[in-house]
Amino acid sequence: MKRARIIYNPTSGRELFKKHLPEVLQKFEQAGYETSCHATTGEGDAIQAAKAASERGFDLIVAAGGDGTINEVVNGIAELEERPQLAVIPVGTTNDFARAIGIPLNNVIAAVDVILEGEPKKIDIGKVNDHYFINIAGGGRLTELTYEVPSKLKTMVGQLAYYLKGMEMLPSIRPAEVEIEYDGKLFQGEIMLFLVSLTNSVGGFEKLAPDSKLDDGMFDLLILKKANLAEFIRIASLALRGDHINDEHIIYTKANRVKVVNKDKMQLNLDGEYGGMLPGEFVNMYQHIDVIMSAEKVRQMEE
């Protein structure tokens, strides 16, 4: 019999998950999994829980939480030789990864149904300075807003909390001087931000990296060069529709390896959480994780 371990963050998003837990367990059992669960206790706990579940031979880890929880689960299994399959029940504030793999958001039971009818698919993840990421890594003052927003405020007003904080930060954003090497090319100069992306849906902007593919072994690299406030706002509004990529302030390309060396101090953002300080070298790990996607998403990828 196959065994599933549900690792859930009881504090994620609007704290929805726990109320549905008995039904979730029942559905996995009915689908033929012997199922148990673990509630995370704080930062880093999902890393240990995922590693322990893998070592105990679980076939499937179901991560229930936001992108932060999924990131931790992936960091727990990425280094192991024998990695279990991964499924995701999205109940966080940002659920970019779940959106990318076609799992319904903030509806626990609908997500479970899609998972149980879904299909496994091997997808890429990123590695930088010994940390793994599943959606996106980046640097530049604006990327810091994803973890500057207090968790209580996210629980209360959800995604809106990011926009409010973003507006507040905008006038104080300064460019930073960097060297970015990507697949043999070099950019040198001042930038507002850079993003190294695996999925097309980032922070609610669904077309920020419109060409990204989940399993092609390539990142989408996006660099926003120095821009003034008015230009910045114009480019951000273009980005809502995916029309920013031809703007003269933007470099948008595919790359398998990206090395960022910063002259000014720069923090690294990994899947929306603080990931230490740059510099860093980003490496795409080709089809490293076996994830259960919606059957529809798998069909779209194979078209």
Ligand X SMILES: Nc1ncnc2c1ncn2[C@@H]1O[C@H](COP(=O)(O)OP(=O)(O)OP(=O)(O)O)[C@@H](O)[C@H]1O
Residues at the site binding ligand X, with contacts judged by CB under 6 A: 9-13, 40-43, 45, 65-69, 72, 92-94, 151, 154, 272-273
Of the pair 18, 226, the CB lying nearest ligand X is at: 18
Of 86 and 176, nearer to ligand X (C-beta) is 86
Closer of 120 and 158 to ligand X (Cβ): 158
Cα separation, 174 vs 154, in Å, equals 26
Instruction: Answer yes or no: are the C-beta atoms of 31 and 41 closer than 8 Å.
Output: no
Residue 303 bears catalytic tag? no
Taking the complex as a whole, the smallest distance from the CB of residue 155 to ligand X amounts, in Å, to 7
C-beta closer to ligand X: residue 139 or 275: 275
Closest CB to ligand X among residues 30, 41? 41
Residue 257 beta carbon to ligand X: minimum distance, rounded to whole angstroms: 27
Inter-residue long-range contacts of 83-86, CB under 8 Å, 24+ positions, other chains counted: 83/54, 83/288, 83/289, 83/290, 84/5, 84/53, 84/54, 84/58, 84/59, 84/60, 85/59, 85/60, 85/61, 85/120, 85/290, 85/291, 85/292, 86/60, 86/61, 86/289, 86/290, 86/291, 86/292
The pair of structure tokens assigned to 226 is 């120095």
Residue 233 CB coordination number (10 Å):
13
Rounded Cα gap, residues 84 and 55, in angstroms: 9
Of 34, 273, 296, 303, catalytic: 273
Q: Which position's Cβ is nearest ligand X?
A: 66
Q: Cβ 44 to ligand X, closest distance in Å?
A: 6
Question: Residue 92: left if φ>0, alpha if ψ -120 to 50, beta else—which one?
Answer: beta
63 SS3 class: strand
Identify residue 124 by its one-letter amino acid code: D
**Shortest separation between residue 27's beta carbon and ligand X, angstroms:** 21
Cα gap 137→146, rounded to integer Å: 12
Q: How far is the CB of 47 from ligand X (least distance, A)?
A: 9
3-state DSSP call for residue 38? strand
Per the structure block, which two tokens stand in for 75?
Answer: 């960091």
What residues are labeled active site? 273
